[in-house]
Amino acid sequence: MEFTTMFLVAFGGGDGAILRYFIAHVGQSFTSTSFPLGTLIVNILGCTLIGLISAMLIGPFRNTVKCFGSFSLSECSAASRHIQVSHWIPSS
């Protein structure tokens, strides 16, 4: 592994850890209870960010996933009724 790659990974990880700590600390300062509100805020923000990035990357392929899901649903429901719709699922 290259030194530059290791440095960029360490810098990105450290930067993310500092940002996570800061957001969690600020979020926790809004409450006086022992409930970890800061951690909840950081986790919700992280999940939202990952979801948005995934939607942008997978967006062009989402119709393919929907079509495959519909195909699988019809195949599985037909198989559960022992009807052979295609040659991929043999009836029992």
In a domain, 66, yes or no: yes
Domain limits for position 28: 3-80
User: How many DSSP H helices and E strands does the chain contain?
Assistant: 3, 0
Is position 88 within any domain? no
* Token digits of residue 46: 């992280």
| Residue 87 lies inside a defined structural domain of this protein | no
**pLDDT tens by residue, the chain, 92 residues:** 788 888 888 888 888 888 888 888 888 888 888 888 888 888 999 889 888 887 777 766 665 555 555 555 566 555 556 555 555 555 55
Is position 86 within any domain?
no
Question: Phi and psi dihedrals of 33, rounded to 5?
Answer: -85, 175
Residue 23 lies in a domain: yes
Q: How many domains does the chain have?
A: 1
Which pTM value belongs to this model? 0.50
